[in-house]
Structure 1
Amino acid sequence: MRIGLVTDSCCDLPRDFLNRHRIVILPITIQGNDGTFIDQRDPAATRDFYRRQAAQGVADFESQPYSAEQIKELFLSKLILEFDMVFCLTVMKSRSQIYNHATQAARAILTEYRPIREQANMMKPFVLRVFDSGSIFASQGLVVAEVARLISQDATCSEITKHIERLANTAQGFLMPANLGQLRHQARRKGDKSVGFLSYALGSALDIKPVIRAFQGETTPLSRVNGFAAGVDKLFSLAIEHIQRGLVAPTVCVSYGGDPAVVTDMLAYQRLKQAAKQHNVQLLLCEMSTTAGVNIGAGGVAIAFASETVAVLD
């Protein structure tokens, strides 16, 4: 059976990984002060987006995911002929309409696919499973990377489904902005008062950064750290600790709001890389989704791993 994998551009994975595993991306369109950007996980375009964002400072952004009709068209025109089964894993539904759009599209796809496949002499049924990953950005990348790994190992559909369900409960993502200006600006535009003026002013003056956790379908503030570099060190040390304890899945994902070369030069990342190698864990580093960037600004860092132990940041 030819098994395909579809996700949206909130998913933080390197382009070479996406290409190698034939992972199909549902693009997200970003409307900003300087025009329109379509996020298709293109590394050069994404890095350029972050350079422009850093230069212009705080700005207004709106994001628009693929509609149900666009998803339906993608499947019926292409994917139902390329694959016999597709797993579609979306960003957590509490943060986006992509899951709802994909679910709505799936009903139409499964109703209309048969004549198209029969015309191409494909008589086997087409199967489509849509999952809310319960994750976002680096943690969504983790879930998708794990499904890709299982597909490459010829795992059964049942085995893949069970692993997705387990990861929905154990994948933990952590996101830290470099600058609070964009975070507060977007939060106010959306009516989110979690980043108030006083905490913003104090945070900016004292270089205190919030750490946001994505876990089991929700994003919540986890902690505050004093200084960006110190915060990155704590997050990477936390991942190392869980690698040494033993992970649910042999994958750790890291993303950065800009050129990932900035991260590879960090001593904390070098320690993480060494720990991953020692424990046979694949470490995936890439540009952060622009959907994350428009909400937290350029220069942010995200990391994700799956562990039975709920992580605590001291």
Structure 2
Amino acid sequence: MRIGVAIDAACDVPHEFVIRNGIAVMPIAVKVDQQRFKDDRDPVEIQRFRDQKLGSRSHSAETDASSVEDVQTLFLERMVKDFDCVVCLTIMATRSPIHDNVIKASFAILKNYRPIREAAGITGPFLMRVVDTRNIFAGSAPTIAETVRMIQAGKSPAEVRERAAQVADCSYGYMLPRDLNYLRSRARSKGDRSVSFLSSMLGTALDIKPILRAHRGETGPVGKVRGFEQGALALFEYATKRVQAGLLVPSLSLSYGGDLDDMRNLPGYGALVRTCEDAGVTVLESPMGITGMVNVGEGAMTLGLACEDHVAEF
């Protein structure tokens, strides 16, 4: 059985990983002022966004996840002919409508695929499996990496979906924002007042950065540090300890809203990479997608891994 993977564009995984594994990306439309962008993990489009210096003034941008109709078109024109089953992985349903849109689209896809496959000379049914990664940005990557690994190992659709759901429950995504005022402005433009004016002003004045965590569909602060570099060091040291303790998936993901070399020069990065190499853990590094930079600001960093339940202290 030919099993494929489709992901939400807000899942931060490397472009080469997407291409190498034939992953379809359900794009997100972004409008900043009069500029329009298609966020589909294409590094050229990400660079076009950065070149225009839009990351610092896009808190009022409009973003539209793939609609029900968009998902139907992608599957009926391409996926039902290329695969016999597709596992769809989305960011947390509590933060985006894409999961619900894929579920709704699946009814029409499963109703209308037969004539299309027959016309292409393909026999047999077409299956869809939809999984909420219960995370966001780099935090969704462990579930995607494990799904790909299970498919390559020849597992059945039921086994792939069950394992993906297990990993999603054990995935931790961390974010370190660079600009609290930007984060507050973006949150307010979306009706989210979780970042207060006072906290953002104090954070800016004292250079205090929160460490935010996404886990099982919920997001919130789990620590604070003074300075972005100190925050990066704290996150890298935390991840190093988790790798040493043992991950549930042999991959760790990083995304950065800027030049990846800037991230690689942050304190603690080298030690983390060496620890991963010693443990046989693959490090998946990617530029943060346009949607990520619009929502959390350019220069932010996110980190994702899957491990046993634990209490993180920063």
Going from structure 1 to structure 2, the CA distance change for 1:136 and 1:67 (only over 3 Å counts) comes to same
Q: Which residue of 1 aligns with 2:258?
A: 258
Distance 1:256 1:137 in 2: 10
Is 1:153 equivalent to 2:153 in the alignment? Answer: yes
Contact 1:53 1:297 in 2 (8 A): no
Contact 1:210 1:225 in 2 (8 A): yes
What do the CA deviations read for 1:255-298 (whole angstroms, capped 9, x no partner)?
A: 00012121122341111110100000010000112212112110
Q: Which residue of 2 aligns with 1:202?
A: 202
Q: Which residue of 2 aligns with 1:306?
A: 306
Aligned residue runs from structure 1 range 159-174, under 5 A: 159-174=159-174
Q: Which residue of 2 aligns with 1:190?
A: 190
Distance 2:257 2:55 in 1: 13
Note the C-alpha offset of 1:48. Answer: 3.3
Q: Which residue of 2 aligns with 1:272?
A: 272
Aligned residue runs from structure 1 range 102-121, under 5 A: 102-121=102-121
Contact 1:135 1:168 in 2 (8 A): yes
Pairwise CA RMSD: 1.4
Distance 2:74 2:59 in 1: 32
Count how many residue pairs are aligned between Structure 1 and Structure 2: 314
Contact 1:58 1:181 in 2 (8 A): no
Aligned residue runs from structure 1 range 53-68, under 5 A: 53=53, 56-57=56-57, 59-68=59-68
Note the C-alpha offset of 1:51. Answer: 4.2
Q: Which residue of 2 aligns with 1:231?
A: 231
What do the CA deviations read for 1:71-121 (whole angstroms, capped 9, x no partner)?
A: 101111111000011000111110011011100100110011111111222
Contact 2:232 2:267 in 1 (8 A): no
Q: Secondary structure at the match of 1:87?
A: strand
Distance 1:248 1:311 in 2: 16
Distance 1:198 1:56 in 2: 20
Distance 2:105 2:142 in 1: 25
Distance 2:13 2:119 in 1: 35
Note the C-alpha offset of 1:160. Answer: 1.4
Q: Which residue of 1 aligns with 2:81?
A: 81
Deviation larger for 152-161 or 61-70: 152-161
Identify unmatched segments of 5+ residues in structure 1. Answer: none
Q: Which residue of 1 aligns with 2:240?
A: 240
Contact 1:182 1:297 in 2 (8 A): yes
What amino acid does structure 1 have at the position aligned with 2:201? A
Note the C-alpha offset of 1:42. Answer: 1.2
Distance 2:54 2:237 in 1: 28
TM-score (norm 1): 0.96
Note the C-alpha offset of 1:222. Answer: 1.6
